[in-house]
Each structure stands twice: as C-alpha cells, then as structure tokens.
Amino acid sequence: MQKNTKKSNKKLYSLELVIFVVIIAVAISSFVGGMTGYIASEFTNADDWFQLKGNSTEQVLTQEIKDNSNNLSTNKIKLSVEEVVKKSGPAVVSIVVSKEVTQNYQNISPFPFDEFFGSSWPFAFDWPQFEQPESKTEKQRIGAGTGFIISKDGIILTNKHVASDAEAEYQVVLADGTSYIANYLGADFINDLAVLQIEGEDFSYIRLGDSEDINIGETVVAIGYALGEYSNTVTTGIVSGLGRDIVAGTYNSSENLDNVIQTDAAINPGNSGGPLINLEGEVIGINTAVNREGQLIGFAIPINTAKYVVESVQKYGKIVRPFLGIRYIMINEAIAQQNNLEVDYGALIVRGQSQTELAVMPGSPADKAGLVENDIILEIDDEKLTIDTTLAQKIAQYGPDDTIKLKVYHKGEEKIINVDLVEYED
C-alpha cells in the first residue's frame, strides 16, 4: 500500500508541473505579443518610418526637387517609364518656326505663245499686259522641332538647327495645348544649342542631370515633336555608346559634334532639341541627330555641355561665349601617323575647305597672340588636350574676359603663349 501511495503522489506532482509550465508559457506569450503589437504600432505611426502616406513617389520627388540653378539633384530614385513621362512630359514643348517670306510676281503676257517664243518671235504682237500685284510677304511655316523648359520662368533649351534665326517667329506649344510666342535669346556657335523663353511664371520644368554619370546600357526616355506632327511622342531605349564624335548636318551645312551620347531610342525629324531623360527624371542629353544609314542610331548632346549656356542666360540674359578665333582638328594616333606629326594629341590649327575659311581669324585673340596655321595647341592651363578633353570643351569653361595659358608646338619647338579671350559676336 505504501508503494502505491508514493506512485500516486508522483503522478500528482507531474500534473501540477505541467499546469504550471503551461501558465508560465501563456503569460510569456501574452507579454511578448503585447509588446510586439505596441512596437509595431509605434513604428507604423512614426513620421520617420519608411512607409509614405498617399502617393509615395510624388512625395519623395517633391522633397528632392531643387531650383534648376543648382543643376543637379542629390536624391536618386528610380522611376518607371510611365512615371518619368508623367513627371517630365508637361515640360516638353513643340516648336513651330515661321517667317515672313517674300512672294515675287512677274508681269507676264496672258497669251502662252509670247511666253514660249519670246519677243523675238517674228509674229509677236504687242499684247496688253495684265497688271500683277507687287511683291508681298506672307508668313510661312519653315520648320519645326522640340524643346524643353528648364526653369520656372520659361527658359527653353533646344537645338541651334531648330532655332537659329533671330528674325523668325517661334511658336511654343505646351503639352496641354497652350501656345506662346517665344523670345529668341540666342544660339551657341560652337555647339548645336539655342535658347528661347516664354513669358509667364511657375512653368513645369525638367531638372538637369549629370551627363558624366551615365552608364552604357542604362534605360533612357526620349520625348519630342516627331516628324513635326506628333507632339510629345515618347520612345524608350538604352545608352548605346558614349564619347562619340560625329559630323551632323543638313543638305547645305554640317557641324562637328564632339563627345555625344549614342542611343537606340527612336529619334525622328522633329525630335531635334528634345530631352533624353534617365530613370531619375533628369535630362542627360539633348537629342540632335540620327544616322539614317542604320537602325535606331541616334545621338544627343550631353547636358553638361549645355550647362554653361544655362548659366550664361541666367547671368546675362543671352548666350555669352569666349572666342579664340581658330579652325582646328583634334589629333589622334591615326591622324598623327598619316601626317607624320611628332605628337599624337592636341588641337592642330588648319584651314577650312574653301580659301575663305582661314585657319586663324584676322584680328582674333589667336591672331594677336601669334598663333598660325599648323601650330598645335598641346595644353590649356597645364591640362592636356585630347580626344576626351577637346579644345572646345576646355575653352567653354572660361569667360570672355579671361586670360589663358597655351602650350603650343610651333615648328618643332614648344612654347608658352598667353591669350586674352574676348566675347564672341555673330
């Protein structure tokens, strides 16, 4: 009997222990659950929690937008293509170029035989002549392109081959159909850039990015007035190449463009002057040319090249450029070998294709400093000139009243020349 009693007590103790453990576990679980709920509630309601209320993209973008005089944005947020277009589209404008064109009239005979045979025809008569109206002018559309607003006060960047005539009229049409007549502020004679401005305030504008911070393969968006007919057409692609040097132009003129961005985003006539935009919603290039011999080979001027234009317009109300006064080509290894040059870098001063295109402009700063044809400018202020750092890029960093130091290779010898730059005037 005693043995059975001990066994019964042992079972009783085991049951009490189980009940005690269960109670402790439930208590701990309740406490932990309550604390977890409290902590989660506190963080969910905290102002510095990552979750954003409402439209998170718009909230963050609103916080990161700066005045465009600072040029760059510090917050980098990847957007979808749809978000890029929604954000940037309102700042892209269509440009219609018109000009007064003279219509000439001839005082001709109403009879076709006189017109065909002329007055020497033996049977010609002195027919009465109809009076024709005098020559008159009428406004005609002579071109179209794209631009984009870069400031709240309506400054517009575009291509020089879109807007280069101070006598023309530039009608700017916003994405919502609102139309303005723009003021022509000038064109850059070195790069294919021009600036217009529409009157008003608080316009939508696009932030300027950093074209030095571009990677081959990254996604880009192009927006423009395709074919001069389809406004705010959107195409997408990637950055296909960097640092391209091309010769672009129309049937009657051409221009060397250095260090341009290559893209496979579809660019058509009318897209000229439109923005090439990254997925941060920043302009990294200005669409300017397309190679029609291939497929989807387009080019854009890096936005950093245009920043001096923006700064000049904001400071002077026009484009102010320093002027050196030479024609040149940048030397690479191939040019050096073909021409037996003793150096394989620098800017070689050369004539143009015609006799009137002199290597050194008479009376220019270069002329006054003694630079001559076939001189090679090796350095500017101790910085070597190469294909990646061209003469035009380097000169653009200076003002029209600056003095620069040139290292020049002249007839087998190196020498140092100081040149006083002046303001370029059309």
Q: Indicate whether 46 belongs to any domain.
A: no
Q: Indicate whether 343 belongs to any domain.
A: yes
d(Cα 247, Cα 230) in Å, to the nearest integer?
A: 27
Q: Is 344 a catalytic residue?
A: no
165 with 313, same domain?
A: yes
330 with 306, same domain?
A: no
354 with 305, same domain?
A: no
Q: Indicate whether 340 belongs to any domain.
A: yes
Q: Indicate whether 117 belongs to any domain.
A: yes
From 319, 342, 364, the end of a domain falls on 319
- Give CA separation, 90 vs 94, 133, 204, 306, 308, in Å: 11, 46, 6, 21, 24
DSSP-derived secondary structure letter, 123: T
d(Cα 226, Cα 241) in Å, to the nearest integer?
A: 23
Q: What is the pLDDT of residue 50?
A: 26
79 with 140, same domain?
A: yes
Domain limits for position 328: 322-423
Q: Is 192 a catalytic residue?
A: yes
221 with 312, same domain?
A: yes
275 with 332, same domain?
A: no
**Residue found under tokens 């909230």:** 59
Q: Is 272 a catalytic residue?
A: yes
The β-bridge relationship of strands 328-330 and 376-380 is unpaired
DSSP string, 164-201: --TTSEEEEE-TTS-EEEEEEEEEETTTTEEEEE-S-S
Question: 190: closest CA among 363, 408, 394, 360?
Answer: 394
Per-residue pLDDT of the chain (426 residues; tens, 9 = 90+): 444 444 444 444 455 544 554 455 545 555 444 444 433 333 333 222 222 223 333 333 333 333 444 444 445 788 999 999 999 999 999 999 999 887 665 554 444 433 334 444 444 444 455 555 666 778 889 899 999 999 999 999 999 999 989 999 999 999 999 999 999 998 887 788 999 999 998 999 999 999 999 999 999 999 999 998 999 999 999 999 998 888 776 655 667 787 899 999 999 889 999 999 999 999 999 999 888 887 889 999 999 989 888 888 888 888 888 999 999 999 999 999 999 999 999 999 999 878 888 999 999 999 999 999 999 999 999 999 998 888 988 988 888 889 999 999 999 999 999 999 999 876
Catalytic residue among 88, 151, 161, 211: 161
CATH (domain of 329): 2.30.42.10
302 with 399, same domain?
A: no
d(Cα 403, Cα 13) in Å, to the nearest integer?
A: 100
Q: Indicate whether 50 belongs to any domain.
A: no
338 with 313, same domain?
A: no
Q: Indicate whether 379 belongs to any domain.
A: yes
With b for 16 or more beta-carbon neighbours within 10 A and e for fewer, the 283-298 pattern comes to: bbbbbbbbeeeeeebb
107 with 34, same domain?
A: no
Q: What is the pLDDT of residue 103?
A: 67
Q: Indicate whether 58 belongs to any domain.
A: no
382 with 242, same domain?
A: no
Catalytic residue among 88, 151, 240, 272: 272
What are the φ and ψ backbone dihedral angles of 31, each rounded to 5 degrees?
Answer: -65, -50
Q: What is the pLDDT of residue 114?
A: 38
Q: What is the pLDDT of residue 385?
A: 95
CATH (domain of 112): 2.40.10.120
Catalytic residue among 88, 114, 188, 192: 192
